Amino acid sequence: MKVRRLHRRTAAFFALALWLPAGAATYRVDDTGTYASQPTTPMRWRQLAPGRAGDHTVEGRVTVALRLNLSPWLNRPARVYMGLAPSEGEQIVATWRTQGRLQPGTVRGGGRTLVFDGVVRDPFLQESIVLDLMADGRTLERAQSLQFFFEIEVTP
C-alpha cells in the first residue's frame, strides 16, 4: 500500500512538471478592455426536435474582442492559456476561432488551453475571437454566466 501511494505521488509530481517548467510562475492576465459582442448569448437546440438519434445539444456563438495586458512580460518568452471556470451543473465546451494572433482551441469548464507560446513582443495583445459554446441542453437548466480568464506562464 505504501509503495502504491509513493507511485501515485511520483506520477503527480511528473504531471506537474510537464505543466510547469522548473521555476515558471503563473499569473492572471489583466484583460481590461475585453468585451463580448452581446451581453447574453441565447443557446439554441442544434435539433429543435429531439429525433430518434436524440441530439440534445444546445449551442451559441458570441464574438469577443480581447485586449490582454502583457506589458509586465514584454520581451520575455511566455505561454498564455485561456481558461474557463467550472460551470454550474452541466459541462460547457467552448471552442474558438481567432484572427491568428492567438491559437484556436477548445476548453471545458474547469480547464485551460494554450493560446500563445512565444516571446511577448507587444505590451497589449488584441485579438477578436469567435466563441462557439456547446452543452447538453437537458442539463443546462437555467441562465448562467461563464467566467473566462487568461493565465500567463513565464520563466523568471
Partner 1 sequence: MLCAACLPAAHGFTVGITAGTRALFLQVGAGTMTGGTFNNNATPGNNSTVNTASVTVPSAQLGSGTAQAMTTSSTVTASPWDGFAFCSSPATTGQVYVGGFYRVPGTTGAAATLSVSTPASLANANGDTLVFSSIAWTSSGNGDATPTIPSGAFTGGAQTLLSVTRNTWFESCLAFRYLNTQMVPAGTFNGVATFTLSTP
Residues that bind partner 1 (CB under 8 A): 20, 23-32, 34-36, 39-45, 47-52, 54, 56, 58, 60, 62, 64, 66, 69, 72, 85, 92, 131, 133, 137-150
Whichever of 10 and 139 has its CB closer to partner 1, that residue is: 139
Cα gap 52→38, rounded to integer Å = 34
CB of 80 to partner 1, least distance (A): 13
Whichever of 66 and 80 has its CB closer to partner 1, that residue is: 66
CB of 4 to partner 1, least distance (A): 28
CA proximity to 86, closest of 67, 110, 68, 102: 110
Written as nine digits, the cell of 62 is 458570441
CB of 73 to partner 1, least distance (A): 10
Q: Across 46-136, where does the E strand assignment appear?
A: 57-69, 77-84, 93-97, 105-108, 111-119, 124-136
CB of 114 to partner 1, least distance (A): 17
Q: What residues contact residue 124 under an 8 Å CB cut-off, 6+ apart? A: 67, 68, 69, 70, 71
